[in-house]
Amino acid sequence: MNAGERLQHYLERFFALRQHGDDSLFLDRLHRLQSFQRQRLMGTHQALLADPRLRPGVEFLLDDVYGGRHLLPVAREIRRALPKAMKLLPDRVMSTSALALEAAIITQELDEALTACLGERLDTALDEAAYAQAYQTLGREPERRQQLALIAGLGEPLDRYIRSRMLLSTFRLVRKPAHAAGFTNLYDFIDKSFRVMKPAPSVGRLLRQVAADETVILERLFAHHPAPFKDVPQ
C-alpha cells in the first residue's frame, strides 16, 4: 500500500475504536490503564528522560505517538480531505506520518483490548501484578512486536528530514497553505515531531533504544518473569 492507502486503512480502524462511543465506564477504565502505562514507561525510560536533549522527543513519543494524545483531531483532518493532504505535504513526510499513525492506532487497539480484559479490576488502583496477568492473558504478541518495530523504524526517516535543510524549507513553506486548507492539527503534529526530535544526536538510535527496552519487557512478561519492569538494561 502507498502512504495514502495506509493512512485510509488505519483511519478506518481508528474510527472503529470503542473509545469513540458513549460508554463512559469503559472510557474511565481506559484512561486509568493509560495513566498506569504512562507512569510505567516514564520509570522504564528515566535515563533517557534525564537527558535534556532527549526528554522532549521521548515525551512526544510516549504522549503523542504511543499515548495517542491529540490523535483524534489529526485523524479527523486526514479523513476529511486525505487526497488534498497528500498533494499539499511532501510525500516522504506523509509516508512517515502513516507509520506513526499506524503505531499509534495499534497501541490504541491493544489498550482497548487490555481494558476489556481487566474489566472491573480497573475500578480500583492497578498494580503491576494485575497488569502483567492481564497482559499475558490477552496475548497478541505479534501485534505488540509490530508496534515496537514501527516505533524503531520511525527514527531513520526522521533523522533524514531533520538534517535536510531542503526538506525542512519546503515543509515550512506549506505551513500557511496547510493551515488555510484545514490541516492545522496534522501540520502541527508533524512540525512538533521535527522540533522535539532535532536536539537528539541520533533519532534512529534513540527510538531503537526505546523499542529494545520495551522488547525486553515484552519478552519478560510473556515468560512470566517475576519482576518484568525492574532493572531493564539500557
Neighbours of 210 (CB within 10 A): 24
Q: What's residue 141's pLDDT?
A: 96
Q: What's residue 87's pLDDT?
A: 78
Q: What's residue 234's pLDDT?
A: 63
pTM for the predicted model, two decimal places: 0.88
Those residues of the chain that have pLDDT short of 70 are: 233-234
